[in-house]
Chain A
């Protein structure tokens, strides 16, 4: 019933209620001190292009391919000679020295749900086991840094693959809502109207008197875990600074425009604010399956998706860099798979897990490099194939989490965090 890690909650409790570890202190701690094993304390922002981003129209252009395959977009030079990307990503191109591209991602899950499961957990899905998403494993292993929840999804988790599966719901991401809406506000974060803190304190003291009776009945520890949720919730509600992290309206208009007034743009900006304030992992998406361009892929990409992505990704990297946060923040840009090189009858591209591209920046990764290569059509991986479990193992390693650690799954079967091996390319 309750496999709650009480220690991590005591930690939160002590920060939010007793410790009064100031916000500035927390930030300084996070920026300066290495984790006990000497690693940088890395945060992650995932630009989550669910539905599947076409590699050929973005990071793996094949201008010489047959017209049946060729993108309508021309490749352009980037800041790094030898690396070319789609002309639809001009801002991104200017920052090519800041990120790496993996062009040789490959797996075998061609259905959205299965591929989402794989890419976020590092495990091929099994019918009987609900693998936890890596962000929830991070929440379990590292806990929250302060009053803010450790894992946030913007606008909300796109599906069960983004949740904690057999670890239990306490590690599920906190859904922030859509920061691109005018009335954006995180739900239930302020006291109810007409109730001030002195009244709420009275309510809490009455509640603690009433709850004493129930405590005697509880042998499972669920009371303690619920109390911890209340404490965390009150901590968040009470901390003006934690709440402020969600106040995207505090950003200057110029900054908001630069990121783009789009779901992904404002989401990326909010993600930066959250990471800056102590959130460990932020997922930013346009919603489930939005990149699933089975028809009219070129107008959709050119008029909507790629300009949005180009602004959001480039602004995020620049912004993090200028604030000195890029070194401790890993930015991951990927969908669950790529799209077929062959253009279908409806002018779209279909699902293609055999070869696809991913971009990564920050967290000590030396930018301006490309890993792997696909064939002349972008159909199959020619060299350095990268499997998802290896990628996930790399991420755990960067965070100082032992990817060989085993969890006992819901069916009693031990499951390693990842069966893969960290990728050297991403460790330098």
Chain B
């Protein structure tokens, strides 16, 4: 991408020739000053309550309110018409009188002169029908800059509702998401500070766009190695890595790949036999074959049913509620059958009826789904990866969402109702005959309206949710396929292309737009098959890279230059432990040996609860994957591992009784089973130390110690 240095640093209005100054527009010329100077930020006068009695709309999205605040509020004391230079709106920001926000601009600056001229001209509001800013564009939208201290000019252009356009380079506010990567001057000049990536938000008049900047310290490497590629995922990831002078880590070893792909796809460790077979196979296509085998296993559906159950918050249903199980079974069956995801989503979106006969109806029954606005925020977040919450109370400052968008979207669910009965699975999700959603500002009913789209008419004899489902799952919907793609990428590659995974916004661009777009398109082209997308990702070399960093990619955490280590889910952890020991767990209400991944909802053991099995979905519907001290204590001395390591009749007893196995062989078995690798010399030596003591009790204890260590090791607690 080449740089285009903008020469149009000044907007037409501000450099008009003397004598024939055009009249300044409040909206176009004055409001942007408050945004640019930081006055309309959320931590200043742009906050919901304003600051020191003066409230501006956040980043100038409501100029008419800003006008009232300046002219009318507090008897108009902010404007001095008889002596414009004595206006408070000039004295405060120039710090000529005390101002909590300090100096924002200087006397006789462009900003100062513009406000002064506007007051002298009568401090009027724009005439009715005068043009409003329609779109804002920044160029370049994406660029890689080489070297530290390198400068580059951004430019911003606005298009107005009358079709005219204007260079807004000097008028917009620039704000890098990460100020340690680049600095940006008020006139839009970037200066690179360190190697890394950041988006720069560009804002004015309630509009925001982002420029994505990558900074590379050195010119492109001359001896960049050739990296083998398996599919388009690799093409797109490696192209970006090359631009960034990052060399991907080498391919993972068979052991490494095996453990990883088992945990990610079926939530379990490979058995010793499976490990042996794979390690000994000479088939060059064995990885692809294994992937196909794993994707066909029922546990593949259980892992995704668990992920979706989290997302749909089935955990909110009590342990004994049958709805959670019905829902889980429906999810598992749908995934097992590879039901196209667009159909899957449409069935959920239009669900109703008695819970016990309509598993999908639980989707609306769960949680506080009684209010249309709660349904709206959940559905946009879950299916579109779009957070509308902010727009419930005020127009979203960083996005285009207005309160009209929010309440119009909520109006699709105006007729949703629940008939609760004592027998919980006989409860019913239904469409009421009538129901409307009241816009909190106008206090009037508002009809259904698509996000960033037209209004919809709801006929009394139809379920308008069907139209909504068609809109959401349409191939033209910009978010639907991308949102699930992003969640898939997060599950397998450890990080979403957009993070947080459900926060798609212009000002939060994906780390690799082309990859997101191409994967999402491929998903749609292949019948919205989740299994197909999983297969594409798992077969990529990117997925199969080793997790060990090299010198060039150690600092990378967003471009998939190696496999990112991630903590196991509670279910993966619990099921892995029982697999290694061969000692089944008994969860209350479930048959002995039931996998944790098969449990539809809730946390039926202390272990599962402690390691993050969710009882209730938080606002951000992602599990907490951070460690804590309670987990450490439970791993060190909790009953779960104590029972699992000391119970008789499991694998350990089998191995110990096998006369053909030496003590060292038993240690090898434990390592291979738990961390899927051979122990090294030092590990064997340390593990065998206590065996120098005599007695069968101490022999067993020594192996229990090895089991305990394996389960407490980071290699076991993480997928890597």
**Cβ-based interface call for B620 (8 A):** yes
Option from B549, B619, B633, B720 in Cβ contact (under 8 Å) with A187: B633
CB 8 Å contact bits of A230-241 with B (1 = contact, 0 = none):
101110110000
B624 touches A188 (CB 8 A): no
- Comparing B182-190, B207-215, B228-236, B710-718, the segment that makes contact with chain A is B710-718
A229 touches B705 (CB 8 A): no
Contacts of B628 on A, CB cut-off 8 Å?
169-170, 172, 229
Number of B interface residues, CB 8 Å? 57
CB 8 Å contact bits of B614-652 with A (1 = contact, 0 = none):
000011100011111111111011110110001000000
CA of A130 to CA of B638, assembled, Å: 30
CA of A199 to CA of B702, assembled, Å: 9
**Cβ-based interface call for B348 (8 A):** no
**Cβ-based interface call for A192 (8 A):** yes
CB-CB contacts below 8 Å: A331-373 with B: none
B706 touches A233 (CB 8 A): no
CA of A169 to CA of B626, assembled, Å: 7
A233 touches B713 (CB 8 A): no
Contacts of A222 on B, CB cut-off 8 Å?
565, 627
A225 touches B627 (CB 8 A): yes
Contacts of B618 on A, CB cut-off 8 Å?
130, 160
Max count, chain B CB within 10 A of own CB: residue among A194, A210, A220 = A210
CB 8 Å contact bits of A172-201 with B (1 = contact, 0 = none):
101100000000000111111111000110
A-B contact count (CB 8 A): 142
B626 touches A206 (CB 8 A): no
**Cβ-based interface call for A14 (8 A):** no
CA of A342 to CA of B291, assembled, Å: 67
Option from A169, A192, A236, A412 in Cβ contact (under 8 Å) with B624: A169
Nearest CB on B from A100, distance (A)? 29
A410 touches B620 (CB 8 A): yes
CA of A293 to CA of B392, assembled, Å: 32
- Comparing A77-85, A211-219, A376-384, the segment that makes contact with chain B is A211-219
Contacts of A213 on B, CB cut-off 8 Å?
715
Number of A interface residues, CB 8 Å? 55
> Which A-chain residue is minimally distant from B626 (CB atoms)?
A169
CA of A234 to CA of B642, assembled, Å: 17
A207 touches B712 (CB 8 A): yes
B701 touches A226 (CB 8 A): no
B557 touches A219 (CB 8 A): yes
A199 touches B701 (CB 8 A): yes
CA of A218 to CA of B626, assembled, Å: 14
B377 touches A209 (CB 8 A): no
Q: A169-B624, A206-B683 are in contact. Are A220 and B557 (CB under 8 A)?
A: yes
CB-CB contacts below 8 Å: A139-194 with B: 149, 160, 168-170, 172, 174-175, 187-194
Option from A192, A210, A232 in Cβ contact (under 8 Å) with B713: A210
Q: A217-B565, A218-B565 are in contact. Are A188 and B710 (CB under 8 A)?
A: no
CA of A2 to CA of B720, assembled, Å: 17
**Cβ-based interface call for B35 (8 A):** no
B630 touches A214 (CB 8 A): no
A210 touches B705 (CB 8 A): no
Q: A209-B683, A211-B714, A214-B713 are in contact. Are A2 and B701 (CB under 8 A)?
A: no
Contacts of B171 on A, CB cut-off 8 Å?
none
Max count, chain A CB within 10 A of own CB: residue among B554, B630, B634 = B630
**Cβ-based interface call for B387 (8 A):** yes
> Which A-chain residue is minimally distant from B708 (CB atoms)?
A203
CB 8 Å contact bits of B690-720 with A (1 = contact, 0 = none):
1000000000010001101110111101101
Nearest CB on A from B42, distance (A)? 6
CA of A149 to CA of B633, assembled, Å: 13
CA of A218 to CA of B717, assembled, Å: 13
Nearest CB on B from A205, distance (A)? 7
Contacts of B636 on A, CB cut-off 8 Å?
188, 192, 200, 230, 233-234, 237
B638 touches A188 (CB 8 A): yes
Q: Can you sample 23 A-B contacts with CB below 8 Å?
A: A127-B392, A128-B387, A128-B619, A130-B620, A160-B618, A169-B628, A187-B630, A188-B630, A189-B637, A192-B636, A192-B637, A192-B639, A195-B637, A203-B709, A205-B686, A209-B683, A210-B713, A214-B715, A215-B714, A217-B548, A217-B565, A219-B557, A229-B628
In addition to A206-B686, A206-B706, A220-B565, 11 A-B residue pairs with Cβ atoms within 8 Å of each other are A127-B392, A149-B629, A199-B701, A199-B705, A200-B636, A205-B686, A210-B675, A214-B715, A226-B714, A230-B636, A413-B43
Task: Show the binding face of A for B, using Cβ within 8 Å.
Answer: 1-2, 127-128, 130, 149, 160, 168-170, 172, 174-175, 187-195, 199-200, 202-203, 205-207, 209-211, 213-220, 222-223, 225-226, 229-230, 232-234, 236-237, 410, 412-414
Task: Show the binding face of B for A, using Cβ within 8 Å.
Answer: 42-43, 177, 377, 387, 389-390, 392, 547-549, 554-555, 557, 565, 606, 618-620, 624-634, 636-639, 641-642, 646, 675, 682-683, 686-687, 689-690, 701, 705-706, 708-710, 712-715, 717-718, 720
